Amino acid sequence: MLFSFDKLITRCIHGSQFTNRCDEKKFRALFAQVFQKLTKYSTLSLPEIKQMDRHFHYLTAKEIDFVVQEILPQQWDTKHLRSYLHSYQVCQLSLGEGEERVIGILQRVNKSPKNPERNYLFSPLIFDFEHSFHPNLRKKQLKKLNLVCIMAEKNCPDY
């Protein structure tokens, strides 16, 4: 699978139901873990990733609406974003052995039988290091107080 980070939200999200912050205990090892997982995914075809990643799934229209209404409205024009995301497949990939996830847009860009790992492009939108996007967790307010921002201070509304 190919990756493009041109759509990645690079601002901190500090919502009551979603955050892209992470537990400070895993912060140190987080990026090495993420890059190892993405490196592995880059050598696999989409069917291989689906088989290997038990947390892979396509987002439903309701889940996409949650992303548009609750997570990303400060980032992009909501009307444009809703139509854009409903035009593509949006999915979730796991990024580690724990709760780390990434939500992004999946597009078929090639039909090569010789190189099936190059047939799909995944464009991450948001990192979900604490898996706060999970519907059972959204029913409650985020309770972890020791979450740290992964972005620069200028991209964090709480600084």
**Of 20-24, 61-65, 78-82, which range is least confident?**
78-82
- pLDDT tops 60 at residue 82: yes
Q: What average pLDDT does the segment 125-149 reach?
A: 70
How far, in Å, CA of 56 to CA of 42, rounded?
A: 15
Does residue 104 contact residue 122 with C-beta atoms inside 8 Å? yes
Q: What value does the mean pLDDT of the chain take?
A: 81
17: containing domain: 2-155
H or E, element range at 11:
none
- pLDDT tops 90 at residue 111: yes
pLDDT in tens, 58-76: 998 888 888 777 776 555 5
Give how many domains the chain has, as a whole number.
Answer: 1
DSSP notation for 89-132 = EEEEEE-SSSS-EEEEEEEE----SS-GGGSEEEEEEEEETT-T
The pLDDT of residue 9 = 81
Higher pLDDT, 46 or 12: 46
Paired tokens of 74: 């400060």
Q: Quote the pTM value.
A: 0.84
The pLDDT of residue 78 = 60
